[in-house]
Amino acid sequence: MQSIQGFLRGLSFTFQRGAAKGLSATFHFTFTGEEERKATVVIRNQSLRVADGLEGKPELHVIADSRTWVRFLRKEANLVWALLRRKIRIQGSPRLLLAFGRCFPS
């Protein structure tokens, strides 16, 4: 994982339908810093849709410094520390972030 673009593109390749059973949510991602980008990820009926921009009303909105997010995905940064330093912020239930992560094993 080298970039936000790679993260978003890779979602469709790593998505695990079985792990998404029972999950129905819209996720907004706003990336700031070096690689600014906004995206919507919808997981519903064990299917995935990724779109540029923010569409609809999200159950979870993740606002993250792009470099910190990539480091987190590469397991080089601790999520709790990033949340405390406000490099990653979430609006919505943290449980949804965990459910999201289960759909995309590393």
Question: The whole model's pTM is what?
Answer: 0.93
For residue 44, is pLDDT > 90?
yes
- The strand pair at 60-65 and 25-32 is best described as parallel
Q: Of the candidates 2, 3, 1, 60, which has an alpha carbon nearest to the alpha carbon of residue 31? A: 3
Distance, CA of 100 to CA of 84 (rounded, Å):
20
What integer best gives the mean pLDDT of the chain? Answer: 95
pLDDT of residue 106: 67
CB atoms within 10 A of CB 20: 21
How many domains are there within the chain? 1
CATH (domain of 48): 3.30.1050.10
What is the residue range of 68's domain?
4-102
pLDDT of residue 1: 76
